[in-house]
Homo-oligomer: A and B are copies of this chain.
Amino acid sequence: MTDMSTTKFEPTERSTIHRLPSRGSYDKTKVYNVLDQGILAHVGFTTTNGPVVIPMGYARKGDSIILHGSAKSRLMIELARGADVCVTVTLLDGLVLARSTFHHSMNYRSVVVFGHASVIADAEVRNAALEHLVEHLVPGRGAEARGANEGELEATLVVEVPIREASLKARSGPPVDETRDLEIDIWSGVLPLSLETGEPVPDEHTADGKPVPDYVLNYSRGR
């Protein structure tokens, strides 16, 4: 990839990081890394009643974000109409405890993608997108679970949002205190936060002693 146009997103008026621009990036690899680590997106669009933000599972597939939902869902019908959307994915990495309340902060990585959703009409392409979605959320699961049948495919709307207008904003590292505050003798630093898994809970139809698959046991996100 020697063509620079493919490795950086061109900043636009709405995707430009104005505040603390040193925390921003338009680097495609960094943006995709956050999108590939996340599970949940917050999808915003504008209705006649005002702005709406809804949490949704998602996946990046190539240079698009895939979203899906019931064909009966008002949200999905709205998106499938080609709504102007903002898809935001945030990974929370820690709490930053400074000596002054003013300099308290959070460490995070957040990607914002602006674009128009468009429906994936072709059933085969839609099926591939849904399989990709499951594989993004739980890598390894797609090989085991039963794939969608025709009725399920028809009941599902899938839209894609091209990733062309996107930026990353991130903060990492220790607190930044005023020099005159450094003498305040309180513990200061970072409390790391991460999304962790608990003990897998089999459902009542899973045979006793059925081993938990490795892709569940070793599941890890947000690194």
Contacts and interface: CB of A to CB of B under 8 A. Distances in A.
A172 to B, nearest CB: 11
Contact of A145 (B86, B99, B216): B99
Contacts of A185: 207, 210
User: So how many copies of this chain end up in the complex?
Assistant: 2
Interface string A1-43: 0000000000011100011000000000000000000011011
Given A46-B46, A72-B19, A205-B177, A54 B112 contact: yes
Contacts of A197: 191-193
A139 to B, nearest CB: 11
B46 A99 contact: no
Given A101-B130, A191-B216, A50 B46 contact: yes
Given A74-B19, A114-B50, A186-B145, A90 B42 contact: yes
